[in-house]
Amino acid sequence: MTRVLVVEDDPQLVRALVINMQARQYGVDAAPDGATALRLAAARQPDVVVLDLGLPDMDGVDVIKALRGWTRVPILVLSARRASEEKVAALDAGADDYITKPFSMDELLARLRAAVRRTETSALVPETTVVTTDEFTVDLLAKKARRGGRDVRLTPTEWHLLEILVTNPGRLITQKQLLQEVWGASQSNKTNYLRVYMAQLRRKLEADPSHPRYLITEPGMGYRFEG
């Protein structure tokens, strides 16, 4: 059974989440504040954490940082905070996904399933070497991309960006994370670099670069690869 830790101080929302998750055979623990959440996470070892940022005793970002000190468990953030800086702060701290309140229960459960699937996939295939989509394939070992049966010529920078995205399928990677990884910490504010290189990657790999199916932009936040 997949175990979910819900960290939320609104009793009505907690009740709705618990009912919906238990109906789908998830085991659920609930914590009303950050301190309880950290204690339960250590004791129960959940498979996914669903976390509200506005907690009564500490900021949710600090909970994320504390968890990331010892676990890679997927963290799905729920929050009424709409500013992109708030979202980016949570993602940079180590959250895997972000849903803004109010949200649909169906969307939340879909994101939850995706988070569980990613951890199961990475556990089963730690050495995945070929990522395949309907449009292109990426051979991580040979450092090659192919589309329509032909090799796609990628620059080292394009390759580095693509490699980071396809090895984290479904996960939102922030602009800051990508810039630091590819260009170094001193360039972490050069978001125009990312726009240029992502546009080049889409032209080379997507069937319709202006409406990408695989290399998705999350405005103001970052990018994700949807396999």
Ranges of the chain whose pLDDT falls below 50: 123-126
Q: Where are the alpha helices (DSSP H) in the chain?
A: 11-23, 34-44, 60-68, 84-93, 105-124, 156-166, 175-183, 191-205
Instruction: Please tell me what DSSP assigns to residue 106.
Output: H
Question: DSSP string of 145-177?
Answer: EEETTEEE---HHHHHHHHHHHTSTTPPEEHHH
Tell me the two tokens of residue 153: 């010529």
Q: Reduced to 3 states, what is the DSSP secondary structure of residue 58?
A: coil
**pLDDT reported for residue 29:** 97
Report the sign of the C-alpha dihedral through residues 91, 95, 97, 102, in that order: negative
**pLDDT reported for residue 225:** 94
Tell me the two tokens of residue 93: 């701290």
| 138-177: pLDDT as tens digits | 998 888 999 999 999 998 889 989 998 998 888 888 888 8
**pLDDT reported for residue 124:** 44
Q: How far apart are CA 167 and CA 170, in angstroms?
A: 9
**pLDDT reported for residue 162:** 94
pTM reported for the whole predicted model: 0.63
**pLDDT reported for residue 125:** 47
**pLDDT reported for residue 1:** 85
